[in-house]
Amino acid sequence: MPESEMTLRYGMNPHQKPAKAFVEEGALPFEVRNGSPGYINLLDALNSWQLVRELKDATGLPAAASFKHVSPAGAAVGVPIEETLAKALFVDGVDLSPLATAYARARGADRISSFGDWIALSDVVDVPTANLIRREVSDGVIAPGYTDEAAAILGKKKGGNYCMLEADMSYVPAPNEHRTVFGVTLEQGRNEIELDQLSNVVTKDKELPQAARRDLLVALTALKYTQSNSICMALGGQVIGAGAGQQSRIHCTRLAGNKADMWFLRQHPLTLGLKFRDGLGRPERDNAIDGFLRDDLAPAEDQFWREAFTEIPERLTTAQKREWLNQLTGVAMGSDAFIPFRDNIDRAAMSGVKYIVQPGGSVRDEDVVEAAEQYSMVMALSGVRLFHH
């Protein structure tokens, strides 16, 4: 039976004691099935649970999120994975249910950042999903339930201490939320806005295919629970690049675009053909692939990734990368606040962005829309800011 209060080992840092989680009325909106969640675990769990619940409501598909430090490293819905992408995500030949597919995509958005993630799942955890989680390094999971077999599989992780939370599907939070900072309590209404805000298309090209609408909803829902400022790029029902917590909008766009580029470059034939040393784990392979694809490594880093392979591969040239990235098309991009300058559009175009949703409201909206039209993009103005702090 869920309780109204639980003691935590410590707060955000080990020296921040005492620490606890509690509600003033009723019971906590989750039950601890296994393990002992920490303060940051609960921040990730409660934010990510809202994300996947809303994403399933918006799309009708099973949803998953991979959270790190109170922002999604990835989020996705259960769209089938094509063979090339499956190989890039290390799930080729793996039995994937729709829910497992959603998590494979969410984890695969940015596998470097997802190392040690907190997982949120919209549906009852099944065996294929548990088997996928079992082999990855993660802190814990929140879901509406677990089959007996799935619970037994996950219960063996971390020497039996893997954290498993079961969310209360009937829980309805209070309409106002509070936060205490430096002894001052802040209060605001919950951000309960519906995210289907795609009707106000302001570019000459107004065609929004169903897949693009789905991807824009994925981006918007992820943005709603991403530390601001933030930009999110999505394709195939999943986040492929998120730029979170930057003070400048263009830095958000560059970060999201760089991550989207790396996601696509992982699918390059030369990347898929890399020969790893025997016994090299997935995290080490992820790091080696990252080193193979980057051009800005220190000498020691460069040596590290080379030692991961049986044959030292020739790096992709700038021209080879650009030729491959030119094939990345149809990407959806969301912005949590208005896009202030066209440089964001110019950078987005380099990562295959075709569809954009943003609140609008900048004095340079006309310039930004004109830039989008120059790239034959479709842009919708939602009129809704989605800051999250």
Catalytic residue among 69, 87, 251, 321: 69
Assess whether 229 carries a catalytic annotation. yes
At 105 the three-state DSSP class reads: helix
Q: Which of 177, 235, 245, 225 is nearest to 53 (CA)?
A: 225
Distance CA 99, CA 61 (A): 9
Q: Is residue 20 among the annotated active site residues? A: no
Q: What is the b/e burial string over 152-175, where b = at least 16 CB atoms within 10 angstroms of the residue's CB?
A: ebbbebeeeebbbbbbbeeeeeee
Cβ contact 79:210 at 8 Å: no
Exposed, middle or buried by CB within 10 Å (0-12, 13-18, 19+), for 145?
A: middle
- The answer to whether 275 is a known catalytic residue is no
- 56, 68, 157, 224: which is the annotated catalytic residue? 68
Active site residue 17: no
Token pair for 151: 């619970």
- Catalytic: which of 229, 259, 287, 344? 229
DSSP string, 72-88: EEEEEE-PPPPHHHHHH
**Token digits for 121?**
């799942």
DSSP secondary structure string for all residues of 339-352: --STHHHHHHHHTT
Length in residues, the chain: 389
Q: 3-class SS at 273?
A: coil
DSSP 160: G
- The residues that bridge with 71 in the sheet, in sequence order, are 68
Please state the φ and ψ torsions of residue 120, each to the nearest 5 degrees: -125, 135
Q: Which residues pair with 184 in a beta bridge?
A: 181
Rounded Cα distance between 332 and 325, Å, is 15
Which two three-digit tokens encode residue 57? 């409501």
Query: How distant, in Å, are the alpha carbons of 106, 122, 291, 305, 372 from that of 102?
Result: 6, 10, 27, 29, 30
Q: Report whether 90 contacts 276 (CB < 8 A).
A: no
Residues marked active site are found at 68-69, 229, 389
